[in-house]
């Protein structure tokens, strides 16, 4: 009986791991202050036939004396059927989110309500950057449990 359960658990984990991801970030564990490459496979989304996409990045930071966030437009270019972009992450950013939309017809890709979010790591790429309480609480709207940043909904951007 235990072997059947173990087999089921291993098979389930393998199936989850094989699911194609729509938005990938390289490096997989980004660090503040570096440039990341974003790869977006539009064919796996509701925006599959959209020609003009507006992509917005929301960068949350730990700046105690200024704005806790900045919003930037991100320019994607097509490379081998996948949209790619470079995004420079400022040194004081802890978390960033990406939102996709077509302004003409209002179509949005919010990852089926889960959003596209990435926590940044410390320089050793082993631990997440510390997130101030105000930033953490503000960005936790619509999330599941910390640190599942990929669950953040981006309704405030679109």
Distance CA 63, CA 92 (A): 7
Q: What SS3 class is residue 92? A: coil
Helix/strand number for the chain, H first, E second:
2, 9
Q: Are 60 and 68 in contact (CB under 8 A)?
A: yes
CA atoms within 13 A on the CB side of 34: 16
Q: What is the pLDDT of residue 86?
A: 97
Question: In the CATH hierarchy, which fold is given to the domain comprising 21-151?
Answer: Immunoglobulin-like (2.60.40)
Ramachandran assignment for 140, one of left (phi > 0), alpha (psi -120 to 50 degrees), beta (any other): alpha
- In degrees and rounded to multiples of 5, residue 135 shows phi and psi of -65, -45
Q: How confident is the model at residue 128 (pLDDT cuts 50, 70, 90)?
A: confident
Express each pLDDT in 10-69 by its tens digit.
333 333 333 458 999 999 999 999 999 999 999 999 999 888 889 999 998 877 777 778
- In degrees and rounded to multiples of 5, residue 149 shows phi and psi of -65, -25
**pTM for the whole thing?**
0.71
């Amino acid at each position: 009986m235990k072997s059947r359960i173990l087999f089921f658990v291993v098979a389930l984990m393998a199936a989850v791991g094989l699911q194609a991801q729509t938005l990938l970030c390289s490096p997989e564990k980004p660090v503040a202050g570096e440039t990341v490459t974003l790869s977006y496979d539009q064919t796996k989304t509701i925006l599959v036939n959209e020609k003009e996409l507006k992509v917005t990045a929301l960068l949350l930071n730990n700046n105690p004396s200024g704005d806790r966030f900045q919003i930037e437009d991100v320019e994607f270019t097509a490379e081998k059927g996948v949209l790619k972009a470079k995004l420079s992450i400022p040194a004081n950013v802890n978390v960033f989110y990406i939102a996709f939309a077509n302004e003409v017809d209002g179509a949005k890709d919010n990852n089926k309500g889960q959003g596209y979010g990435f926590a940044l790591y410390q320089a050793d790429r082993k631990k997440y950057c510390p997130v101030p309480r105000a930033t953490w609480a503000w960005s936790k709207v619509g999330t599941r449990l910390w640190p599942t940043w990929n669950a953040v909904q981006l309704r405030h951007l679109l």
